[in-house]
Amino acid sequence: MSAAATQTPAELRRDTINHLRWQAKAVANLLSAVHLLGVADQQTTLETTTRLADELAGDLATLLRGAA
């Protein structure tokens, strides 16, 4: 598909779900590794993870409402 082609609703939903999968994996990976970090890095990583998880939750809610 060319960059200029319009995606169907099904294709947009699939792409959204794939993006959500990436976000969920990123959250899980950050949480899996946080214990290996020093205290200062743990805090920074948890703050980053929280922002990503909040974004994920919002995107999931949008998908559930059918707006994605």
> What's the mean pLDDT in 19-48?
96
Residue 4: its pLDDT value, please? 61
Taking 3-state DSSP, the helix, strand and coil percentages for the chain, each rounded to the nearest 5, stand at: 80, 0, 20
Residue 5: its pLDDT value, please? 80
Residue 66: its pLDDT value, please? 85
Tokens standing for residue 12: 């947009």
Question: Burial, 17: exposed, middle or buried (Cβ in 10 Å; 0-12, 13-18, 19+)?
Answer: middle
Predicted confidence (pLDDT) at residue 23 exceeds the cutoff of 90: yes
Q: Is the pTM of this model over 0.75?
A: yes
- Taking a C-beta distance cutoff of 8 angstroms, is the pair 49, 34 a contact? yes
